[in-house]
Amino acid sequence: MANVLYINSSVRTTGSLSRQLSAEFIAKWQAAHPQDTVVERDLAANPVPHLNEEMLGAFFTPADKRNADQAYAVKLSDQLVDEAIAADVIVIGAPMYNFSVPSGLKAYIDQIARAGRTFKYTESGPVGLLTNKKVYIVTASGGVYSEGPAAGYDFLATYLRAVLGFLGITDITFIRAEGVALGEQALADTLAKSRVAIDELAAA
């Protein structure tokens, strides 16, 4: 039995391919692993706040030294961190916006990247603490960025691999629906390819 954390970051609640395909992944996963529990975080329906000076101050203040305002400021972040720590599997729906992740997903990551909780500093450098987790990232993009002339514009995959790796998560699989704006046949082809990957990965 595993704990699955399902994060949706598309700002579109209808018509979102990353939302649609990640939901299909979760449905297939639950069918194959009926004993698992799923916790969902919808960053469009319930956005998390972007960092501000008060939050940063609270993060770097020991818990027993925080005043009431700081304790309140860090409360949601602590909950998000607890969810990430408890998860064995993390599924992220992440459409590409302007070559990178939606700002809501960046805000979420800023809330869980916490020194002393999800990573720590050592004499040999920072060490990630979110180990032994499997991450599936379902992404959709209008163009093709995994290869070819536009590959250098893919700051979504490079950022997520880097930041999750910093937090200790290195077992990452991308399910890409690419070229969805390149015509009906390109859309049909990439959706078919994505669904084959979903079928295989969710049943593993």
Q: What is the distance in angstroms between the CA of the first residue and the CA of the last residue of the chain?
A: 14
Strand 37-42 and strand 3-8: the pairing is: parallel
Nearest to 147 by CA among 110, 119, 122, 178: 178
Element (H, E) at 3: strand 3-8
Residue-wise DSSP of 127-189: EE---S-EEEEEEE-SS--SSSTTGGG-HHHHHHHHHHHHTT--EEEEEEE--TTS-HHHHHH
Annotated binding site for FMN: 10, 16-18, 96-99
- Residue ranges of the annotated binding site are 10, 16-18, 96-99
Torsion of CA 151, 169, 20, 101, to 10 degrees: -50
